[in-house]
Amino acid sequence: MPIPPGPFAGRTITDLARDLRAGQVTATELAERALDAAGALGPALNAFVTMDAAGALEAARRADEELAAGTDRGPLHGLPVAVKDLIMVAGLPATMGSRHFAQYVPDTDATCVTRLRRAGAVIVGKTTTHEFAYGPTGDRSANGPSRNPRDPERMSGGSSGGSAAAVAAGIVPLAIGTDTGGSVRIPAALCGIAGFKPAFGAIPADGVFPLSRSYDHVGVLAGGAEDCLIAYRCLTGETVDGSAAGSVGWIDPAGLFDGDPRVTRAVRAVLETGEEVRLPEGFAEEVRETYVAVQSCETAAVHAERLGRAPELFEPEVLERLRAAAEVPGWRYVRALEARERLAGLVEELFGRHDVLAMPTVPIVAPPVDQREFALDGRAVAVRPALLALTSPWNVLGLPALTVPAGLVDGLPVGLQLVCRPGDEPLLFATAALL
Amino acid sequence: MPIPPGPFAGRTITDLARDLRAGQVTATELAERALDAAGALGPALNAFVTMDAAGALEAARRADEELAAGTDRGPLHGLPVAVKDLIMVAGLPATMGSRHFAQYVPDTDATCVTRLRRAGAVIVGKTTTHEFAYGPTGDRSANGPSRNPRDPERMSGGSSGGSAAAVAAGIVPLAIGTDTGGSVRIPAALCGIAGFKPAFGAIPADGVFPLSRSYDHVGVLAGGAEDCLIAYRCLTGETVDGSAAGSVGWIDPAGLFDGDPRVTRAVRAVLETGEEVRLPEGFAEEVRETYVAVQSCETAAVHAERLGRAPELFEPEVLERLRAAAEVPGWRYVRALEARERLAGLVEELFGRHDVLAMPTVPIVAPPVDQREFALDGRAVAVRPALLALTSPWNVLGLPALTVPAGLVDGLPVGLQLVCRPGDEPLLFATAALL
């Protein structure tokens, strides 16, 4: 049974900003609606780890005062926003989804949070993350799995599962998350919303607990691409305006992963346009190996002491994966750095012919919570590699990648992913706007 | 018994260049002297893998013709030079000191060889390298150990052992080598000559078989610092002139390695000047771990397929070390990259107070060939870490480092090492010139 839509379902940032400035609603009322919805929908979705009613209402009051006094911080001014629980918000617990940080309260904001506040956003709470963001399923966290608003028996996807669930359920109009292999785009796609992973480094990762420094990106989740663009502008100061749509190349996802053909058909139908693009021979395998090697080594580097000192505090699946990651030999990391150069060259050639590459975001629909393998057309499909297959290549290459809702398969959302070169974000969003 | 001095012993590049232009000698005669000396001294030292009499005499003839016709390529014009056997010289075998490349003949020159030729140098042959440059002792090579001209029972040091022995024995006035952890400076110091490892990348490593790409440097070996400077200029086009000597800080080598105090005293006596500089707490351990982690992983990445396919072709000690290197986990590589940033910051502070850091090049004298451990003041000293201890930190940090002869201990040469920041090479050489 789908979760009933919350107060922000179907409301865009532009709508809300207009209503606020027209005096039809106050920031305080918006914050109250978000807090109430989180309370009402929260237990079913497990989207939030921590709510900050006092802080949110205080920030909302200031936002209202500023607007009344003529100070307008732009489109996020007075809007409720949720922040993934491994992004530091001063004074709020940051568990990273882990018992290792059950008691941790940072005293400074992450840079992206500072920028949110500067843009007038009202932070209402911290959202569930897969433990240490180390998993695309969103169902292994010290505070339990986040769940899919479309069907709470299904996974939200991860690792920014709580952020996606909170937006998809209409609890908040905007959330921020992190994306190391797809952790913004995967849950956004599985929950039926939009998510944008900017170019590597476009939004600083200072104050974000690392998963894999070479691949960690801060990203945004919202109802649609337009809202992602607005949030991206506010978080970066980038002006991304007035572009024509770009030429689109369609990448058959089967070249990267043998997933659900119904997902491919549904997404292809939404795109309508786009010449077929073939990925170069061997690309899929090389990009997957590169992703795994770098991510494993960098993640193990983050957790080496915790693995030695208090392994029992990790969730068992996370522990098992971390232990395997700690054994990946360094020469594979070195090879992966070399492979990344080659892969970047290959993709650069594809962009010589098309401005935007399009494909499904995830080649399957949301599996049930805790599922790790399932049968598809008589084949066994491993869930984790399936979830990551179409998103992680763009972390390896640091490219801007957007997912937008692309309809339903079996009543469950699927996403269309658009990828471009850094600097071509205007083309990317203009292309999305045409869909 | 020391090897009797060859024709270039005590002759500087400047001397030779003057004699050539004065008509007192021809390039052909110089090449003949080098070839004859290599023939006469070669068996005792095992400095050369391959001699190229035909190529050398042809190049010498052209050099003579050019000089006669008024074309002067500069100070290396017509001078015999030896090249380490993992630097590619078109048409000559490049064994890398390994049975894996017993039959390999490259068809293009390394960039540094192209530059040597452009400077008019006459390449007479390829010098013995420790197998794949993977060892500072110089005594494990498919063509046998190179030996120390001062005492052929002793190791030359390595990995550019043949280059050092050839110069120290006066077979050639100049040789080129590579230095990943000290492979130019260690054999130069142990054999009693000068050796210069420029800043990382100053001499391109294209066409050089890699050991560890982050740390590999091409360097030069000659009788004295002045000749190293001349060769460095010819290989880079850098003008390194007219500087005053820099302020010198003396680093007590005991802060990096507990070596032979007689070596320290001998080197300190040569320097005379220099305020004592303390390395920061923990520097020695961190720089050693950083060196080993990066070097191990990068070296294993170079040889992974050979290790799987034909391990029996490696020399047993090299094989054992490569197998251990292949097991260094990737997270240690990641940590090492982070540590390197910290270490660079610490050393940058030292250079805030002194232009040049001085210390012994190697904290022991040349051990006997094949020795791996010996007793010193009742302690067991492991040879390999001792050889590398004072040189490898400057590979980790990519800093220019020069070794110059600093007398004898027990009748065996010791070296003084001078280190500076990239860009301060004029200060470095001016400081050396004052000694």
Question: Contacts of residue A331 in chain B, CB cutoff 8 Å?
Answer: 297-301, 304, 325-326, 328
Confidence of residue B2 (pLDDT cuts 50, 70, 90): confident
Instruction: With a cut of 70, say whether residue A181 has pLDDT above it.
Output: yes
pLDDT digits (tens, 9 = 90+) for B95-132: 999 999 999 999 999 999 999 999 999 999 999 999 99
Return the percentage of chain A with pLDDT > 90, whole number: 94
Local structure of residue B101 (DSSP, 8 states): G
B57-61 average pLDDT score: 98
Instruction: With a cut of 70, say whether residue A84 has pLDDT above it.
Output: yes
**Domains assigned to chain B:** 1-276+356-435 (3.90.1300.10)
The whole-number pLDDT of residue A243 equals 79
pLDDT digits (tens, 9 = 90+) for B350-367: 999 999 999 999 999 999
Return the percentage of chain B with pLDDT > 90, whole number: 94
CB contact under 8 A, A330 and B293: yes
- Enclosing H/E stretch for B175: strand B174-179
Nearest one of A209, A175, A151, A223 to A38, comparing CA atoms: A175
pLDDT digits (tens, 9 = 90+) for B382-407: 999 999 999 999 999 999 999 999 99
Chain A residues within 8 Å of chain B (Cβ atoms): 293, 296-301, 304, 325-335, 338
pLDDT digits (tens, 9 = 90+) for B37-48: 999 998 899 999
A274-295 average pLDDT score: 94
B233-253 average pLDDT score: 86
Confidence of residue A237 (pLDDT cuts 50, 70, 90): confident
The whole-number pLDDT of residue A245 equals 83
Instruction: With a cut of 70, say whether residue A159 has pLDDT above it.
Output: yes
Q: How far is B212 from chain A (nearest CA, A)?
A: 10
CB contact under 8 A, A330 and B335: no
Nearest one of A411, A430, A383 to A182, comparing CA atoms: A383
Query: Torsion angle, CA of A286/A291/A293/A295, rounded to 10 degrees?
Result: 180
CB contact under 8 A, A301 and B335: yes
Mean pLDDT of chain B: 96
The whole-number pLDDT of residue B88 equals 98
CB contact under 8 A, A329 and B334: no
Instruction: Record the tokens describing residue B227, joined without a space.
Output: 């000749």
Instruction: With a cut of 80, say whether residue A240 has pLDDT above it.
Output: no
- Asked if A149 and A191 touch (Cβ cutoff 8 Å), the reply is yes
Is the bond preceding residue A243 a cis peptide, omega within 30 degrees? no
CB contact under 8 A, B298 and A332: no
Instruction: With a cut of 70, say whether residue A153 has pLDDT above it.
Output: yes
Mean pLDDT of chain A: 96
pLDDT digits (tens, 9 = 90+) for A61-72: 999 999 999 999
Contacting residues for A174 by C-beta, under 8 A, at least 6 apart: A13, A76, A79, A80, A81, A82, A121, A167, A220, A221, A222, A227, A231
Instruction: With a cut of 80, say whether residue B240 has pLDDT above it.
Output: no
**Searching chain A, which residue's CA lies closest to the CA of residue B335?**
A301
The whole-number pLDDT of residue A241 equals 67
A104-127 average pLDDT score: 98
A7-21 average pLDDT score: 97
Instruction: With a cut of 90, say whether residue B425 has pLDDT above it.
Output: yes
Q: How far is A298 from chain B (nearest CA, A)?
A: 6
Contacting residues for A385 by C-beta, under 8 A, at least 6 apart: A257, A288
Q: Are strands B147-148 and B174-179 parallel, antiparallel or unpaired?
A: unpaired
**Which candidate from B297, B327, B329 shows the least CB-CB separation from A334?**
B297
Instruction: With a cut of 90, say whether residue A254 has pLDDT above it.
Output: yes
